[in-house]
Amino acid sequence: MTLSTELRYLTLAVAATAMMWIPYVIARAMSNGSAAALGTPDPARMIETAWAKRSRMAHLNAVENLVLFAPLVLIAAVAGISTPGTAFAAKLYLGARLVHYVVYTLGIPGIRTFAFLAGWVATVMFVVAILF
């Protein structure tokens, strides 16, 4: 069995999301020492740069959105739904989430909003493909 385009891009989105913690944990280790980074973070004592906070928030946002997107891709795969539109939506989702993570971390608000909306559109495209 070969992976559909949708499942391949979902796998890439999961892999990217799974690695988004690395920059802010490295920043935490650099600011607070490796022992603090390896232990349970104490918000009252933790020093965190602004970009690392944004990176952590972008990662949380990516996880929250993946929880909605992934089941839709899996439902479409089980139902045998694979169209040029769903393939495009899967590619759009991955691209949008990567752009969102980068611009959120860099603190670029306008592009961040458009990237978020592009990911949301990709999610809605799967809902429409499944239901209609």
Report domain extents, the chain.
Answer: 5-20+49-131
Is 5-20+49-131 assigned to CATH 1.20.120.550?
yes
CB 105 within 8 A of CB 58: yes
Looking at residue 48, what is its pLDDT? 85
Put residue 95 in one of left, alpha, beta given phi > 0 → left and psi -120 to 50 → alpha: alpha
Crossing angle of the two packed helices 50-78 and 84-106, in degrees rounded to 10? 170
Per-residue pLDDT tens listing for the chain (132 residues): 689 999 999 999 999 999 999 999 899 888 888 776 677 767 777 778 999 999 999 999 999 999 999 999 999 999 999 999 999 999 999 999 999 999 999 999 899 999 999 999 999 999 999 999
Residues 6+ apart with CB under 8 A from 122: 69, 89, 90, 92, 93, 96
Looking at residue 123, what is its pLDDT? 98
Residues 6+ apart with CB under 8 A from 36: 28, 29, 42, 45, 46
Q: What's the DSSP call for residue 48?
A: -
For residue 6, CA distances in Å to 77, 81, 91, 125 come to 8, 10, 8, 12
